[in-house]
Amino acid sequence: MPSWTLHQGDALTLLPTLDTLADAVIVDPPYNSGGLQAAQRRGQSARGKYVSGDANHLLPDFGGDRRDQRGYTYWLSSMLAASLAAARPGASALVFTDWAQLPATSDALQAGGWVWRGIIPWRKTIARPTRDGFKRECEYVLWGSHGEPTRHAPSIYLPGWLEGSQPRGKGRVHITQKPVAVMRQLVRIAPEGGTVLDWCAGSGTTGVAALAEGRRFVGIEASGEYAAAARQRLMAAVDKEPAAA
């Protein structure tokens, strides 16, 4: 049985067709921030928004980042409801968000049928300072469960705070790529040998982390370009791993 699969296509279409129920759904959807504040509401694409002027790198853009806040909440709750149907009872959902979308994301999580169980802040360590105010240095992971969460045996105790800088330089494939070290902490919410599902796979970091921690991975990615990049990273990750006993 392969320890990972990556589908390319529309997540809402593909989710009902998966043949394994997930033990954890871990996603990093486009945040769609900018619906609230005038300075950001310029119809910018993700690249224009997130990449600073002098950092002229050539990472491909990503779609799905132009909804307004109601649209975002509605879209995300549909996705999370579909995820619930694709997840085992007791499974967990972990959803990344920034500060501005945190309340909307918690609404979507609960509207999707998940029980909200907490927030795990992620400190990015490299962030621009804010003049005359507090630096916006953290992103947030919202934790939900499908009913009562699964008991682990032996019990595990996971951190309530994550730290790690975004990948830089050659290792970086996606604009908003998460550090593998951070993801490795998160995938442990699925039991060993369990399945982690990410329907917003991007460059496949969730999968790389899942494999490194001895979990299976099912990914969905809309963009062909990113799906290809993710497959490459996943193949490399399997080679690196010692064969299972």
Nearer to its own copies, 154 or 169 (CB): 154
Residue 133 near its own copies by CB under 8 A: yes
CA atoms within 13 A on the CB side of 34: 17
Minimum separation from the CB atom of position 228 to DNA (A): 20
> Which of DNA, its own copies, none has residue 42 at its interface (CB below 5 to 8 Å by kind)?
DNA
* Beta strands 138-145; 115-123: pairing state: antiparallel
Nearer to DNA, 3 or 142 (CB): 142
Nearer to DNA, 96 or 226 (CB): 96
**Residue 239, exposed/middle/buried by CB under 10 A (0-12, 13-18, 19+)?**
exposed
Q: Are 66 and 43 in contact (CB under 8 A)?
A: yes
Determine the Cα–Cα distance for residues 32 and 174; give it in Å rounded to an integer.
Answer: 16
- Window of 5-13, 48-56, 96-104, 193-201 that interacts with its own copies by CB under 8 A: 96-104
**Site for its own copies (CB under 8 A): which residue of 120, 201, 210, 234?**
120
Minimum separation from the CB atom of position 135 to its own copies (A): 3
Q: Looking only at residues 150 through 169 of this chain, which bind its own copies when binding is defined by CB under 8 A?
A: 150-152, 155-161
**Site for its own copies (CB under 8 A): which residue of 100, 173, 222, 230?**
100
Q: Are 220 and 7 in contact (CB under 8 A)?
A: yes
Nearer to its own copies, 44 or 125 (CB): 125
Q: Are 87 and 21 in contact (CB under 8 A)?
A: yes
Nearer to its own copies, 12 or 111 (CB): 111
Take residue 217 and report the two structure tokens written for it. Answer: 């991975």
Nearer to its own copies, 94 or 227 (CB): 94
Q: Count residues binding its own copies (CB under 8 A).
A: 40
Of 186, 79, 201, nearest in space to 142 by CA? 186
Angle at 37 (CA atoms; ends 165, 226), nearest 5 degrees:
45
Distance of CA 211 to the CA centre of its chain: 15
Minimum separation from the CB atom of position 218 to its own copies (A): 22
**Residue 127, exposed/middle/buried by CB under 10 A (0-12, 13-18, 19+)?**
middle
- Contact positions vs its own copies (CB under 8 A): 36, 92, 99-100, 102-103, 106-107, 116-121, 123, 127, 129-138, 140, 143, 149-152, 155-161, 189
